[in-house]
A and B are shown apart, each in its own frame.
Chain A
């Protein structure tokens, strides 16, 4: 293969690497300020409004694998996040005895095509955890700094919910929430008995319109398939495409960024990328480079961007790039609800996520672990897909006939068919998603022995859970069992014990990784300042979850969006003042 590096004549005010939540928001705000912007995306274009991209409202028999997951779509054949934990030609490695699984989406909108649209603000405590429990570090900013941006994000993108007045779960500008489903009523019943609060979910789907450009939710429960009327939030449909329609935004797709290019003074001059289409390397120039490639990918790009002034990678004078990598904790449990066996049929699809949830409700001072978790609820009469009817060799015994006699496990024939029909919609499950402690010893670095198929050195991960996360998972399992039992459920499977770290998911599995380019006031202990600007490179910024000092028990997207907006405002102001 011939290899050459081409420099385009074009020069931009800003290059944004990545088109997910952070990159999309930066593209919108910077282009609205009149800047000429290039968005460089490693995957392809995507627009669910075009029928060629549509999987929404398709039936399982339209897929030869009936919706089963594949290597590039681990969440199912109709799921519209393209990539997964194991991408052909894009490997990563792990330190011995450690684990980390890295989920990537290679497409316009990035992982906003995947996420559950759970849109929670970090609360005042979430920015100051070190002051509360002495672990990790405080953020250099607080809730009051971010609140105005959360408010703007709510109104720009739309999120339903209710004002609850809970101190660390700040209220916002909410659309009306949908009523709970039947299994969610049972969850609430079980939770109430256990003194666990249940409130309406806060998800970014439009139950009512917020402008004339996006349709409203029509309750198909398929946000993961991407919405053809843009009623849910994904960065491509809500931020990048509108920015391209209104401003000077060029989108480069199938462009895998290798490095930030640097001048002798150590300033960023642009990026170099490999085009996946012709496997040639190109350079783009800009006054400002904004990384929004995801916490780990942005860290990788910075570590691979070396020069005389930045021998360890740009932004890495402190040696902190890649350090303090942390993901949410996760554990699950499910049961069967005898009250829901042989239930009445009606369309209960609802929105593409739970209608109620439990925010963190306890005081850690009275517990043996430091940080909290929220509980997500699932179950009900979802669309049958690959997996429906499985496990009757162990689950059929939970179905009883009119005389109370249980069915035998396994079997065949009309009786089996009827039992699968009776069992449908009777499960109730829950997932805990919690905050972990950021650790210097959990990190990613460049593996100098391995390159991807574009010749770019890959990441090597080192990550171990601490006792804090393991004890938290134990608490989750105790809580799940109590709620399920209170709700009247028959618990399925054995309760996960210490041998499995109480069912604690491997790091990276919850796909909330943050912290690799953390912000701080001390340039020796952090990568970025409080405006997400590199301490050692004034025209380099990060707008993904890398800047997070700690992660909260909240899904990170809403905070990525708020911080990206705030950083973009700062970039515009600094350019005006000619500081960069």
Chain B
């Protein structure tokens, strides 16, 4: 559903026309011809926010090598499954790149963690992480991915992987692919009329009798409210 259709849904009856007309009038704006990096947050930004987003988007923190490692690692954490794409399909590494600059406190643990991974790969197999075969990679990941089972000397690496798991999972589940996988149903105009009956029954609930006549009735959403002097709704 596009935005215009959304807006149409919002209004009922005669309320709609005037408001929609004012909506459709474009504001006269002076053209800003300066070069822009795409991708800053839209909607009511202050000048300082616009400048900051532009700077963060223009700067680069991760090296090519770090990006390659993160592509591999994030796909291990969030692989493709059930026909839904993986972390790299959801461009999670781009999100990580941005977050490193937005929350600079992530930078050292991330860079250091990736450095450690190469060091430990070299200690274990005489090769860097990206040069390992899959079973070698997974042997190392299994040593750092399970906080309750990991050896005490792995604590630092476990913390690195916890951070990476957090950011990768959140990057995935806040992407379009992640929304579809989650089967999220909201963020669209609708009329809330309570929990679906079959769900209420399954959980053993029923709405309280004394409130049933007081709850919003969808068919009343177009009627302007009127009260008597005691505050009772009469219209």
Contacts and interface: CB of A to CB of B under 8 A. Distances in A.
Given A57-B187, A339-B203, A390-B166, A209 B196 contact: no
Contacts of A63: 41
B221 interface: yes
Nearest to A46: B44
Contact of B220 (A52, A176, A346, A385): A176
Given A176-B217, A216-B10, A410-B148, A390 B77 contact: no
Given A162-B211, A229-B19, A66 B186 contact: no
A172 B27 CA distance: 40
A62 B41 contact: yes
A124 to B, nearest CB: 17
A179 interface: yes
A91 interface: no
Contacts of B171: 66
Given A52-B43, A347-B188, A410-B147, 8 more contacts: A78-B41, A88-B48, A177-B216, A346-B195, A382-B186, A387-B170, A388-B173, A408-B146
A409 to B, nearest CB: 5
Interface string A309-351: 0000000000000000000000000000001000011111111
Interface stretch (A67-75, A472-480, A537-545, A565-573): A67-75
A392 B167 CA distance: 11
B45 to A, nearest CB: 9
Contacts of A186: 203
Interface residues of B, number: 94
B231 A173 contact: yes
Contact of A386 (B11, B22, B174): B174
Contacts of A77: 41
Given A65-B99, A185-B203, A412-B145, A390 B169 contact: yes
Interface of A: 44, 46, 48-50, 52-55, 57-68, 70, 72, 77-78, 80, 82, 88, 151, 154-155, 158, 160, 162-163, 171-182, 185-186, 189, 200, 207-212, 215-216, 218-221, 226, 228-229, 339, 344-351, 381-394, 397, 408-414, 416-418, 420-421, 424
A416 B222 contact: no
B214 A61 contact: no
Interface in B159-202: 161-162, 165-166, 169-176, 178-179, 181-196, 199-200, 202
16 contacts: A52-B27, A174-B231, A174-B233, A177-B211, A180-B194, A209-B15, A212-B18, A220-B188, A348-B186, A348-B195, A384-B174, A410-B158, A412-B141, A416-B77, A416-B165, A421-B181
B41 A176 contact: no
B174 A54 contact: no
Nearest to B74: A412
A280 B214 CA distance: 55
A180 B207 contact: yes
Given A64-B57, A215-B19, A381 B186 contact: yes
Given A185-B205, A220-B188, A392 B169 contact: yes
Nearest to A421: B182
B49 interface: yes
Given A216-B12, A388-B174, A58 B186 contact: no
B220 A208 contact: yes
Contacts of B232: 163
A409 B170 contact: no
Contacts of A339: 203
A180 to B, nearest CB: 7
Given A54-B43, A61-B174, A65-B98, A383 B12 contact: no
B15 A413 contact: no
DSSP class of A's interface residues: helix, strand, loop or mixed?
A: loop
B223 interface: yes
Contact of B215 (A155, A179, A181, A185): A179
B189 A218 contact: yes
A184 to B, nearest CB: 9
A66 B95 CA distance: 8
Contact of B43 (A53, A163, A172, A218): A53
Interface of B: 3, 6-7, 9-12, 14-15, 18-19, 22-23, 27, 39-44, 46, 48-49, 53, 56-57, 76-79, 81, 95, 98-99, 102-103, 141, 145-149, 158, 161-162, 165-166, 169-176, 178-179, 181-196, 199-200, 202-203, 205, 207, 211, 214-217, 220-225, 227, 231-233
A408 to B, nearest CB: 6
B191 to A, nearest CB: 7
Nearest to B217: A176
A482 to B, nearest CB: 20
Contacts of B200: 182, 185
A178 B215 contact: yes
A230 B227 CA distance: 21
Contact of B175 (A58, A61, A175, A418): A61
**10 shortest interchain CB distances as A-B pairs:** A389-B169, A179-B194, A55-B43, A60-B174, A218-B189, A53-B44, A176-B216, A66-B174, A349-B186, A219-B192
A219 B225 contact: no
Nearest to A154: B231
Contacts of B165: 392-393, 410-412, 416
A82 B46 contact: yes
B180 to A, nearest CB: 11
A292 B58 CA distance: 41
A171 to B, nearest CB: 6
Contact of A383 (B77, B78, B186, B193): B186
Contacts of A162: 211, 214
A424 to B, nearest CB: 6
Contact of A215 (B11, B77, B174, B202): B11
B146 A411 contact: yes
Contacts of A381: 184-186
B188 A393 contact: no
Contact of A410 (B6, B15, B146, B215): B146
Contacts of B224: 208-212
B192 A350 contact: yes
A412 B42 CA distance: 33
A345 B185 contact: yes
A410 B162 contact: yes
Contacts of A226: 44
A64 B148 contact: no
Contact of A384 (B39, B173, B199): B173
B169 A219 contact: no
A209 B220 CA distance: 9
Contacts of A413: 76-77, 79
A214 B184 CA distance: 29
B162 to A, nearest CB: 4
A417 B181 contact: yes
Nearest to B178: A384
